[in-house]
Amino acid sequence: MAPTHTTESTRTWLVAYLEVVSPDTLEIVRSRLPPGFVLQAVSDYSDEAALQLLGQADFVLVATHPLPADLISAAHNVRLIQHQGVGYDRTDVDAARAAGIPVALCPEGTTIGVAEHTLLLILAVYRQLLRADASLRAGEWLQFGLRAGSHELAGKCLGLVGFGRIGREVARRARAFDAVVWYHDLLRLTAAEAQALGVSYRSLESLLAEADIVSLHLPSTPQTYHVIDEDALARMRRGSILINTARGSLVDQPALVAALQSGHLGGAGLDVFAEEPPAPGDPLLSLPNVVLTPHVAAGTRDALITKMDAAFANMQRVARGEPPVHVAAESLRDEDAQAAVGLPGGAS
């Protein structure tokens, strides 16, 4: 369906939605469309399906579908590529910039869901939730059988690697559980800010070595790739747990599996993976001390409504001739990205 070209104020704007979602989810997305906008979704994740829409679209709405240069080159009339979230590592931002198409992110709607999911994974690992549920369904009654390996969050040290919007919301919730919260980030809080949030700064090295729980809240950049590698895992205290609701590329997954199998780590809670979805034979799927979810930390109805309202508002800005908000920047400068995670060459 091509857009109806009358005047800029009365024309119909076509939004190409490059995600394959369930009918009820698509209904929510369409229910948030502003007047004058129509939405068409791809039928599958093939490049062919994307190309059919990109050539006609005025706007692109995308979450996980890769947008390499060859697809962007087909987007002749597109005025904005709007991401549904904040991750844009699958979009060729340079190619979009060369084509004069801004790439915008959507931080709205992500923060609360991911923060809550982080606590969900911590508690599920600490209380052996999956084992308790599975054993009960199998006819066992492990009222006392799980106690030796179950833990409380109260009094534990939670180390947050990355302390942006989501990290801060995790900290607020963890403090409500009486956890001790440390953070590591390129941007240090003022003393007053740290006191208000009840957190303390640690270098990455000391945070890994001393925290009971390490939770990752970093973007995916070349500098953060495998920030949790074999050496970092070896530095983590024995019996500690790793939580990742950020990006799978942050963790060397085979090294994590080895650390879990050896017993060096007590467990892990993962919402993101090196390969999504994981291959059927992925060893993570058979480890009893791991809780896995399919990249759904921000996947709530509440978050989707908030995200769609913000995304379509950004498209309306562009349709009015105004600049979009939350435009994706170039990658962090090498030294800044290194400093953010305490890598060699950067301050920690």
Please state the φ and ψ torsions of residue 19, each to the nearest 5 degrees: -120, 145
Active-site residue flag, 295:
yes
Please state the φ and ψ torsions of residue 291, each to the nearest 5 degrees: -110, 125
**The one catalytic residue among 32, 83, 295, 326:** 295
Largest distance between two CA atoms of the chain: 72
Active-site residue flag, 276:
yes
**Of 317, 278, 304, nearest in space to 63 by CA:** 304
Angular region, 342: left φ>0, alpha ψ -120 to 50, beta rest: left
Active-site residue flag, 320:
no
**The one catalytic residue among 27, 276, 322, 335:** 276
CB atoms within 10 A of CB 34: 12
CB atoms within 10 A of CB 339: 19
The whole-angstrom separation of Cα 48 and Cα 222 is 29
**The one catalytic residue among 32, 79, 117, 247:** 247
Residues contacting residue 39 through CB under 8 Å, at least 6 positions apart: 14, 15, 17, 29, 30, 33, 61
**Does residue 251 contact residue 216 with C-beta atoms inside 8 Å?**
yes
The whole-angstrom separation of Cα 250 and Cα 229 is 8
Copy the structure tokens of residue 184.
């590591």
The whole-angstrom separation of Cα 137 and Cα 141 is 9
Residues noted as catalytic:
247, 276, 295
